[in-house]
Amino acid sequence: MTKDEIRQKVRTRLQLAGVARFPGIEGRIPNFAGAEHAAQLLCELPMWKRAKVISVNCDPPQLAIRRAAFRENKVVYMAIPRLRSERCFVELDPAKLGSKILRVASIKGAMRFGRLVPPHEMRPVDLIVCGSVAVTRQGARVGRGGGYSDLEYALLRTEGKVREYTPILTTVHPLQIIEERLPMRGHDIPVDFVITPDQVIAAPSLHPRPRGVIWEILQESKILSIPVLRRGRRDVRGTPTPRRL
């Protein structure tokens, strides 16, 4: 199956089972019934408790995770939608936000009250939470399409803000776990832990992580649409000319 076919299969499953929640699932990371329970399980993990700085996606099913991070005084980084600025991450530090902390769990509140930073100004990240449309028990993952989660990771890896073994976690409904083979390419990020409302699944390290931005597989249109990539390409000497896919 192709990635698009897998996405459609999972979204149909969620819809038929009646577990999809507002704001819908088409073209999105699906919000699902039980997302808060999955967040609670994630927050009981020792790696979460040790983490001081986390990177987390801005989608609705991970809202409870962002709120938990603020309650526990963790610094949170969220990527701005489509990485549309060179300052493409928003830094949310509970120590600096005061009473505004109750309003920054959404991307709208984060953009209003957080501090926009480029990747090289970020603090080192202890743990990554990403949204997923489908995952396997072996750690393969597919997002909504567009590759933005993969690019976010690649940018942070290029700048040394995440390491080879920085944990990557995702929360999903059990119906988002698939048995089919999920094709993974060199730029795709795998996950180390899959967390549902009922269980924590440790995935074996079968899929290598990208060590940074893989310029030769990026479409020219993608580079031109993302300011931090345009700047990064200018700064990289001897980068191969991107080919059109």
Stated pTM of the model: 0.92
What is the residue extent of each domain of the chain? 3-213
Other CB atoms within a 10 A radius of the CB of residue 207 amount to 19
- Residues 6 or more apart from 171 whose CB is under 8 A from it? 35, 38, 39, 42, 61, 62, 65, 129, 195, 196
What rounded mean pLDDT belongs to the chain? 92
Are residues 130 and 143 in contact, defined by beta-carbon separation less than 8 angstroms?
Answer: yes
Tell me how crowded residue 167 is: count the other CB atoms within 10 A of its CB. 19
> Which pair of structure tokens corresponds to residue 108?
């709208």
DSSP 175-196: GGB--S-----TTPPP-SEEE-
Tokens of 170: 């995702």
The fold adopted by the segment(s) 3-213 is: Rossmann fold (3.40.50)
Question: pLDDT higher for 235 or 11?
Answer: 11
Q: For 177-234, write each residue's pLDDT tens digit.
A: 999 999 898 899 999 999 999 999 999 878 889 999 999 989 999 999 999 999 888 8
pLDDT of 242:
44
Angle at 29 between CA 25 and CA 34, to 5 degrees: 80
